[in-house]
Amino acid sequence: MKMMKQNVMIAGLALVLLSATACKDGNKNEPAAPMSNEMHQESMDDMMDDKPMNEVDEMAMNNGQDAKAEAILTDYFKLKDALVADDNAKAKELGASLATTLGKLDISEYTDTQQSDLKDIVEDAVEHAEHISESDIAHQREHFKVLSKDVTDMVAITGTENTLYQQFCPMYDGGSAWLSTSKDVKNPYYGSKMLTCGKVQKEIN
Amino acid sequence: MKIVKIIAGIFLVALVLIQFIPVDYNQNDTVPQTDFMVVHKVPEAIQKKIQVSCYDCHSNNTQYPWYNRVQPVAWFLEDHIKEGKAELNFNEWDSLSSRRKTSKLRSIIKQIESGEMPLDSYTLIHRDAKFSKEETEEIINWVTQLKDSL
């Protein structure tokens, strides 16, 4: 009887230990550390080389760098809309594509101070976008708050072609802001729970 | 009865065998000038708590009591250390910009508040890494103050 008890205990211990490794395996699929901006830029340059001339010209006409800041904004607004719609899966996808777009921001034409600010903003924003790509919706919204600040700071440097509205919800996490292309308030932090909570705080452009 | 014995036996043999697989230990003698504790004036109790509860996976120096050297615990740790350091390394704290620091402190607060950190799988073995209710409150208040002062 005593022998059996011991055996069961050993088996139990082994099970606990093995489940610990199972957890380790489960984490293997997660993406490694964020790729450096340089790497993103390199791959972007490669892509540009492969493009027919007229397409490259088209991008250059748009002043290159601004076109990319606009691309970041486009992805950011799509992500915001997914959060407004309480769509966790779509927000994951969009978080991942925003992280990629952010990494492609061409900062070469800015001043040194602006460049280091933009690098800092992008590094931070990429991390939040990556977290959004692998989190539940509550987490996504937490990260979206800081991401919104990063994107707002980016726009302050890069500017944008369109009029943007900085909106503010006093209820979420001690007050949280986000950007929108429309004056209408649609709250990404609460979604359908409190869709219209908030007000326009500032007009940008 | 017999089957229980056989299964236990297999587990036991496997457990002994995996002990021979080598592990990369995360250990360093020096604490760099960029360390969180060097840069900030951290109250002693909080300093100790952070070191016990966080530094094993979020610094260049892991404490390895005997059970952390035993497989498969050591593997489990190795993997989490890699991931943990990529996310936040207290030893390299001061190399972060103030934007990044604020961002990290926010995450620290959220993760401790929600009980995600320290990981359950870690506190299961490492009991003293667990935060009591009071400790959670104390550390969150302190980190919040630090974040607002940056």
pLDDT at A28 over 50: no
Q: Which residue has the tokens 């390394």?
A: B89
- Residue A74: Cβ within 10 Å count: 14
* Residue A11 pLDDT greater than 60, yes or no: no
Residue A119 inside a domain? The answer is: yes
A117 located within any domain: yes
Interface residues from chain B to A (CB-CB < 8 Å): 1, 4-5, 7-8, 11-12, 14-15, 72-73, 75-76, 79-80, 83, 86, 97, 99-100, 103, 106, 110, 121, 124-125
Q: Is the ipTM of this complex over 0.85?
A: no
Cβ pairs A/B, distance under 8 A? 64
- What pLDDT band is residue A123 in, cutting at 50, 70 and 90? very high
Within chain B, which residues score under 50 in pLDDT? none
* pLDDT value of position A6: 52
In the stretch 78-97 of chain A, residues with CB closer than 8 A to chain B read none
Tens of pLDDT, residue by residue over A34-72, are 444 444 444 444 444 444 444 444 444 444 445 589 999
Among all chains, which residue has been given the structure tokens 């991942």? A96
Please give the residue range of the domain that contains residue A99: 60-204
Give me A151's structure tokens: 């994107």
pLDDT digits (tens, 9 = 90+) for B86-126: 999 999 999 999 999 999 999 999 999 999 999 998 898 78
Does residue A139 sit within a domain? yes
Considering only the beta carbons, identify the residue of B5, B15, B72 that sits closest to A20. Answer: B72
Give how many domains chain B has, as a whole number: 1
How many independent structural domains does chain A possess? 1
Range of the domain at B85: 2-149
Is A42 within 8 Å of A134 (Cβ atoms)? no
State the smallest CA–CA distance between residue B1 and chain A in angstroms: 8
